[in-house]
Each structure stands twice: as structure tokens, then as C-alpha cells.
Amino acid sequence: MPVSAPLGEFEVVVLLAVLHLGARSEQAYGSTIRDEIAARAHRPFARGALYVTLDRLEAKGLLASRLTGATPRRDNRPKRVFKVTPTGLRAVRQSVAVVTNMQRGLEPLLEEP
């Protein structure tokens, strides 16, 4: 089932980061998502852009979040942990497939000289 609206590049990057972190249970929260994107994408972005995007993806039904227990280490504030929903996974697959299909046949042009 196709997702109704195409995803933006940063939305795809955020969903992929959450998927990477989701393999390590309870690890997909704001600062770890930010670190994952910085480590893998090597691109700067504002912290606020991440949180706006997380909220937007959750509103679209592509992410789900829940609060974990507060700890003294976090000044007794709970952590908001994210996971990709089945709809979000379909959206990522669709977005990656579009880019892969568009790239097909251009490999000689896209290779480093």
C-alpha cells in the first residue's frame, strides 16, 4: 500500500536512524537519534529540526513514541522513546525504492573519478 504523501529526505533519514537504533531496544530517543544521524549522514542539522520532524512523523502515523521511567540522571524527567510503525516501515521502503530505481543505470556517472 503506497503512502499518501512522499517523504522528505530528512524524514527518511530520521526514520532510518530510528530503525537502526530500534535494533537496540529502548535506544531510539532524541539524543541517540541525533547522534546516529550525525555518525551515518555526516551532515549538520538543528536540534529543533529533529524534534519537529519526530513530531510530524508521529502525527503522520509513521512513528510511535512512549515515555520511559524518569531517572535521577535525567533530573527525574522521562525519556521519549520512538519506534517505526508498520506504516512507517512501508513508507521508508517506498522512498528507498524510488531513489534506487532513479539511480539504476547512472552508476558510471555517480562513481568517484
Residue 2, pLDDT > 70, answer no
CA 7/CA 3 separation, integer angstroms: 9
For residue 20, count other CB atoms closer than 10 A to its CB: 17
91-98, Cβ contacts within 8 angstroms, sequence gap of 24 or more: 91/3, 91/7, 91/15, 91/62, 92/7, 92/12, 92/15, 92/16, 92/19, 94/2, 94/3, 95/6, 95/7, 95/12, 96/12, 98/6
Confidence at residue 4, expressed as pLDDT on a 0 to 100 scale: 61
**Residue 65 has what DSSP assignment?**
E
What pTM was computed for the model? 0.86
| Domains observed in the chain | 9-103 (1.10.10.10)
CA 38/CA 41 separation, integer angstroms: 6
Residue 82, pLDDT > 80, answer yes
Residue 109, pLDDT > 90, answer no
Residue 52, pLDDT > 70, answer yes
- Using pLDDT thresholds of 50, 70 and 90, give the confidence band for residue 94: very high
Lowest mean pLDDT among 21-30, 50-59, 102-111: 21-30
- Using pLDDT thresholds of 50, 70 and 90, give the confidence band for residue 113: confident
Mean pLDDT, rounded, for 56-76? 88
